[in-house]
Amino acid sequence: MGAAVQTAGENGSRRRGRRRRARPMSEINVTPFVDVMMVLLIIFMVAAPLQVVGVPIELPRSAASSLPTDQEEPLTVTLTADGATTIQTTEVTDDEIVPRLRAILTERTSDRVFLRADGGIPYARVVQVMGALNAAGITNIGLVTDVGGPRMDGRDG
């Protein structure tokens, strides 16, 4: 029968006297980084639609469909029930509306402005603010309403 000769390097059985030094790991473990980024992505995806202009008003209801949105954050002018006027979340006086809007429009690519007015505001006040928007050079005005209001045929939407 044949006999096999085992050398020092085979199967690791003759390494008793030699110990290998542990080399430091030279690669970066990105798994925790990816996990954290995925969690943050999910949090921002859920939270982003919840961020709306923070001026509480009671919008009138309408059966009209919504306008398509732009890539840029929409510029919003709000008329509250107590008569205050805000641009985004900053309250402005009637004299400040036109100069502020002109200054804001020089930095924006879109000329669309959304006008939000409380349902209890007199229509004359809404038209007055629309005139101020027009004086500032804004011709693309969208009136913001809640969906599901009455329709012209007498049924609720």
Give 61's strand partners.
146
Q: Is the pTM of this model over 0.75?
A: no
Please, which pLDDT band fits residue 28 given cuts at 50, 70 and 90?
Answer: confident
Task: Name the token pair of 79.
Answer: 């008329």
Instruction: Summarize pLDDT for 56-77 with one digit per residue, the tens.
Output: 667 677 766 665 655 667 788 8
Mean per-residue pLDDT, 123-134: 89
The percentage of the chain sitting over the pLDDT mark of 70, rounded to a whole number, equals 69
Highest mean pLDDT of the ranges 32-41, 45-54, 80-89: 32-41
Residue 16 C-alpha from the chain's centroid: 64
| SS3 (DSSP) at 143 | strand
CA 127 – CA 14 distance, rounded (Å): 95
What is the maximal distance between C-alpha atoms in the chain?
A: 112
Sketch out the chain's domains with CATH numbers. 58-147 (3.30.420.270)
